[in-house]
Structure formats: C-alpha cells, structure tokens
Amino acid sequence: MSIPTTSTPRAAATPRQSLSQAWSGRAFRALLATLSRPGHVEQVPAPGFLRATVPPACWLPLALASRGTAIALPGVASATCDEIAEHTGARITGPARAELIAYARSPRAGELLELARGDAAAPEQGASAAIDVAAIHPPSTDQPHPRPSPV
C-alpha cells in the first residue's frame, strides 16, 4: 500500500487531546480505499495533534485501531508508541500477535511471513500492515538483477 502524505509540524499532543472525528473519518475512508483496491493511491492528511516525528505508516493504527486492538510499531520510538496507544486505546504487542502493524523501518527478511494470515473462511483473521514508503530501500546497483532481461 502506497500512501502519499502531507505533513505540517505541530505542537505535541496533551493528554486531554484526542483524535479528531473529522480526521479519523477522512483517514479511515482513504485507508479503506487503499486496502480494498490494491495499487490505488490516496492522499492521507497529517493528523495535526501529533508530533511531526510520527512516521506516516503509524497513521494506519491511528485511523483503524480501537480500544484493545493489538498493534505493533516496528522501528517506532517508544514515546511515540505510548502516544499512539494513549490516543487509540490500543495495546502494543509484537508483530506476530498484532492485528495492525505499522513499519517505520524496512521489514527484515521473513518478518512478513510471521504475521497473522487469514484464510478463505476467515480473511479477517489476517493482520494489516503499513510500511512507510520512505523506509523501503532501493535495490543495490552492485548486485545483478535476479532475472536479467533478454538481450
């Protein structure tokens, strides 16, 4: 899922601030469109109540998590994880046990295979993951392409 984002630095949230219903609705609709139509790109507005350092991949749990939802935030600072948990009521866990995962770093080899997967009878049992596009590393130019093009 590729989600271009807009970001404006804002002041840090106070404990009394909560998610804006308007922002949550816009972000939810944009994320639902990207999840339901692979390859579709949506613009997600930056949540104004968070610190500017929150990676855009973290907006997935901010928009979709509810109280008690298991979320994992690999590569996200501990203070940011706490802030997201406070705003959503979600509980932080490891990726293998999470319903929503937001990668602020590139996933390690095989790491995505450890995530919960649904099946034909219960697709909702599978985890949803967002990977911050800025965290995806381009292929090294030192290595030949695994499938060379025919000459």
Residue 7 reports pLDDT greater than 50: no
pLDDT-derived band at 21 (thresholds 50, 70, 90) equals: confident
| Burial classification of residue 9, based on how many CB atoms lie within 10 Å of its CB (0-12 exposed, 13-18 middle, 19 or more buried) | exposed
139 or 128, greater pLDDT:
128
Question: Which amino acid is present at 114?
Answer: E
Neighbour-count burial for 35-64, b at 16+ CB within 10 Å, e otherwise? eeeeeeebebebbebbeeebbbbbbbbbbb
Provide the pLDDT for residue 14: 43
pLDDT, tens digit, 9 for 90 and up, residues 113-127: 999 988 888 887 888
151 or 75, greater pLDDT:
75
Residue 27 reports pLDDT greater than 60: yes
pLDDT-derived band at 68 (thresholds 50, 70, 90) equals: very high
Q: How far from 60 is each of 29, 46, 115, 145, 146, CA to CA, in Å?
A: 11, 12, 16, 32, 32
Residue with tokens 């816009």: 26
d(CA 92, CA 101): 10
147 or 16, greater pLDDT:
147
HSE at residue 81, side-chain half, CA atoms within 13 A, is 18
Mean pLDDT score of the chain, rounded to an integer?
75
pLDDT, tens digit, 9 for 90 and up, residues 77-106: 898 898 889 888 999 999 999 999 999 888
Residue with tokens 């030949």: 144
Provide the pLDDT for residue 134: 59
d(CA 42, CA 18): 24
